[in-house]
Amino acid sequence: MAQVMAIAPELQLVTFDGDMTLYADGQNFADDSPLTVLLIRLLRQGINVAIVTAAGYGTDAMRYEQRLSGLLRGFAKEELTPAQVARFYVLGGECNFLFRCRADYRLEFIDDTMYASSSLRSWTDTQVQQLLDVAEAELADCVRRLGINAQILRKPRAVGLVPHEELTREQLDECALSSQMALLRSQGAPKSEPCDVPIPFCAFNGGSDCWVDIGNKLIGVQILQEMIGSPPQATLHVGDQFLSTGNDFSTRAACCTCWIISPHETQGILTELDAILFQS
């Protein structure tokens, strides 16, 4: 809360995790969510709002619209102006697929040639797929070693272990940490951090599954900061995965952060922020 109070006067950008931050794990943004009005008030105050999520559906805007259906309908119901909705972004796959809200309250994909840093554009598809091959092999080995009943799911910029039974936090952490070490070794940097290798990545415990994504939320937040012109001291990230095996952890190097554990706590943070903003 102290960070919220300190950053409020200069705030330009607020980024949010999705699952367990804005809505329940694996669910969609509900029409009756109390967060809708609070997010709308941020947009009307001239503050940029972005959802930076591991959910990776490629360039398929409709999949993201489905997850955020209640929020987008809220924008339409409140008749937000084109300028206001243009301040709303969705960044999927940690940092790989960027969308912006249009005047008709639909999401529009923005090609990475319009925003990506030179380091992001330098990743070739061959390099990405080779790294995902290593991750896929390591997750398959985790299934074998730990006797897990799970499937390995491959996406263009990610690979995940999706269990058919409930796993313990320790099992999921083991999968994330084993994958992290395998990927660091494959890039010749076993003692480095996942952010400090030629192709940064995020191997994380998703709460009920384990995923390895190309890139991370540090890059995602920095992309948005560069686009909007928001410095670290004017940026706030809100999320629930700030342990070392969580995918919000890396954002601490880019901006101020708020560690919450539920959408209810997010509501509390935004309610306090709203009171401060409308006092000033």
Tell me which residues are annotated as active site.
17, 19
CB contact at 8 A, 132 and 140: no
Cβ pair 238, 3 in contact under 8 A: no
28 torsion bin: left (phi>0), alpha (psi -120 to 50), beta (else): beta
- Which residues in 6-27 are b (16+ Cβ under 10 Å) and which e? ebbeebbbbbbbbbbbbbeeee
Alpha helices in 115-168 (DSSP H): 118-121, 125-146
Helix, strand, or coil (residue 153): strand
Query: Can you name the residues that pair with 236 across neighbouring β-strands?
Result: 14, 256
**Closest to 63 measured CA to CA, from 18, 21, 33:** 18
User: Which residues make Cβ contacts (< 8 Å) with residue 271, sequence separation at least 6?
Assistant: 38
Report residue 43 as tokens.
């947009």
* Residue type for position 135: A
170 vs 179: CA distance, rounded Å: 14
Mapped onto helix, strand or coil, the DSSP state of residue 51 is strand
Polymer length of the chain: 280
Give the neighbor-by-neighbor strand order of the sheet with 235-239.
107-110, 97-101, 88-92, 48-52, 13-16, 235-239, 256-259
Contact between 65 and 107 (Cβ < 8 Å): yes
